[in-house]
Amino acid sequence: MTSNKIKYFVETLTEELKVFFKDLPETAPKKTKIIFNMVKNISKPYVNRVRHMSVPMMIGVGAAGLIVFISFAIFTYFVFIGDLATPERLMNRNNTGIILMDRKGEAFFHAAEARDVKVFPIESMPKYLPQAVVAIEDEEFYQHSGFSIRGILRAFIANLRSSSAYSQGASTITQQLVKNALLTPEKSYKRKLQEVLLAFEIERKYSKNQILEMYLNSIYYGSGAYGIQEASQTYFGKDPSQISIEEAAILAALPQAPSAMTPFGGDTDRLYARQKIVLERLGLDPTTLPKVTFVELQEEKSDLAPHFAVWVRDYLYAKYGEDEVNRLGFRVTTTIDSKYQKIANTLVAQHIKNLNRRDATNAGLVSMNPNTGEILAMVGSYDWYDEIYGKYNVVFANRQPGSTFKPIVYTQAFADGKNPEDVVTDEPVNFSGYQPKNSDGTYRGEVTLRRALANSLDIPAVKVLEFVGVKSAIKLARNMGIVSLDPKRDYGLSLVLGGGEATLFEMTRAFGVLATGGELVSSHAILKIEDKYGNELYRYTPQTHSEKGEVKKEPYEDLLIGGTFAKHVVDTAAAFLTTSILSDTEARKEVFGETNWLTLGRPVAAKTGTTNDYRDAWTIGYTPSLVTGVWVGNNDNSPMLGLYGSQAAAPIWHGFMLQALAGTPSKEFTMPSEVVKIKLCKDSQKYCGLCTDTIERYYSKHYVPSEDCSQVTPTPTETPTPEPTNTPKPTAIPTNTPIPSNTPIPPPTSEPTPTVIPLSPTISLSPIEIIPSSL
């Protein structure tokens, strides 16, 4: 044993003494208080000086402190133990499980609530059931008096060798009963001492069979099952009296790690390995026994937001432990807005029914507040009850994003010095064998970047990616929260057309970065957690400032709780310039028509996307206060029948945004100080001089036009005869720059001029109107 370990142990002991001396109840007898204060006052100076002592002196003080600690604990134990160990208290199954509430406090999901099940007597169980439990959980059960000295010493030595403060327990069946019924989940030497003393008292009051019966009827078996009767019904659909010996071995194996080993989605290899140990300890050969068969899990559900609810529940189980969450009775206030969620549910259900005839069977939707990161609505699939794909949450499925990835590449170009009015040539090109084409098969010649992005032209987009570089685009995308992209993978120029993979959640969050002017706020789903006694365990604290920097990784588990960062990840001017294009209804008329699903009658920025063979249809858009993404497709990746994002996903997005924002004030996108709005000559795209035919355009203040227009707009007469002038052209992006020959040829496609799909006359999507257009 090293000196550092000794010091660590003594320091830990002194800290436990401090805590222990702090916890005397106000109701303690006067005599106890006198002794308590006397020991506290005597010990205080030594506790404060212990860290400065030599190792031998620390050993002596530690031993003395341990004696005082145990003596005092035993003394106070006998004073207060009177009413703790009653059968009613030990058999308390009043766990409230998890209750999830929306942001206004209305409950919409319950899990693992205690069921009104009578105690199943041990006499009615087959003998091998309690024998199996004793064999695997506590072989010395019938010999010890509530605790095992050998087990405690073994755990004590293991903890001294471990780098963690408390790594291993030594709980007997009686101690586990105490822990589950009377004590908190805290792991400390103080709590272990309480556990041992209370176990001793229980052993003094009850027979071994009574203790075993209480244990079997209260222990947690996973999948929301408390007690042997619930467990037997949950896993095998029968009472404990009817289970076979191999089934009994399964039930005996589960309490060690009920969540991790549950037959419903857990590590069954680990479960069967532990079952094998149980059977061998009973003197049986596992190979001679049949394999157990489990019934189908009757899972808790939420009619409001089932995929969201299960996502949050699983997170809480993983973070805090399933048994502890259920017993403490977590009451969780989530970020879900019930109004938004109901709108999303209705629109997805109605629209997918209408699209079934075009082989579109599923859809997902997620909506967030980009400024706070709060997840306001989530639809993980069209039908939660579908036997094959219903429980699968497509919001977190990796899919090709199609043209919805283009704004990210353009944003990087603007950060690198390009402006929306710069010109690129839309023409046939060949990049070392890769020959992208516009989806409508036409070429438009010289177009501005604004026109190219607004109308989702493919060739200009590929040229823009060539200009910024694939690595730079991936870096920006990951900083915007699209962490599914692998920076080591060679995506090639197809990346801009959606050649990589990302989730709907990630893409929506990335568009939220554009909505905030370049700030990535960590998304989250939980506002507050309380236990069943009203004690607040967690409250979300919003980030008050942002820092510039890169986002290397943000695991999904950090999205729900604890992830409270805000980082400025995109150039503010670049983010606004992209937004100015995505919200430019005039610029997109060429492809999307005068009226389309991307307009709301208020400032809104949006982009559609479609992948090769119509396997994925997307629409993502935002206002300054709300960002929403919609995906439509098939879980098995089979193609739809000619459905574009503007046809399949955009109507859902439009309906959701229109209804969610109804009654709220319209807000403009705020132009940052890094952007200037200047008048240009409509023809030359230069600073207007003497010309009067002008337009207003946004520029980064660092990259404004440097030339004045010398044209004079002629005054019209009855027979106007203006002389033609040479129109200078803005700086163009270079064309046909070759790239390495190993660039992969992409499958994604863009958005051609689509044909609107008429909605079924039997389906009402109010307040959405059927807009006749090219969409």
Give the whole-angstrom CA distance, residue 407 versus residue 657. Answer: 20
**Residue 693: per-residue pLDDT:** 80
Identify the structural domains of the chain with CATH numbers, from first to last: 3-80 (no CATH), 113-288 (1.10.3810.10), 343-518+569-660 (3.40.710.10)
Burial class (CB in 10 A: 0-12, 13-18, 19+), 547: exposed
Six-digit token pair at 371? 């400024």
pLDDT, tens only, 683-703 = 766 777 667 788 888 999 888
**Residue 771: per-residue pLDDT:** 30
**Residue 5: per-residue pLDDT:** 47
Six-digit token pair at 358? 């075009």
418 closest CA partner among 456, 466, 457: 466
- Check residue 182 and give left, alpha or beta (phi > 0: left; psi -120 to 50: alpha): alpha
Instruction: Flag residues of the chain having pLDDT under 70.
Output: 1-96, 113-117, 151-170, 182-192, 299-301, 543-565, 684-685, 689-690, 708, 710-775
Give 3-state DSSP helix, strand, coil % of the chain, rounded to 5: 40, 10, 45
Report phi then psi at 378, rounded to 5.
-150, 120
Q: Where are the beta strands (DSSP E) in 329-472?
A: 331-334, 362-368, 375-379, 423-426, 445-448
**Residue 491: per-residue pLDDT:** 96
**Residue 20: per-residue pLDDT:** 45
**Residue 160: per-residue pLDDT:** 54
Please measure the distance between the N-terminal and C-terminal CA atoms of the chain and give it in whole angstroms: 76
**Residue 75: per-residue pLDDT:** 55
**Residue 739: per-residue pLDDT:** 33
Close Cβ partners of 150 (under 8 Å, ≥ 6 residues apart): 140
598 closest CA partner among 550, 553, 643, 646: 646
The three state secondary structure string of 257-279 is: CHHHHCCCCCCHHHHHHHHHHHH
**Residue 768: per-residue pLDDT:** 32
**Residue 1: per-residue pLDDT:** 44
**Residue 387: per-residue pLDDT:** 81
**Residue 57: per-residue pLDDT:** 62
Six-digit token pair at 311? 């996502």
pLDDT, tens only, 343-382 = 999 999 999 999 999 999 999 999 999 999 999 999 999 9
pTM for this one? 0.75
Six-digit token pair at 705? 């036009």
Give the whole-angstrom CA distance, residue 580 versus residue 584. Answer: 6
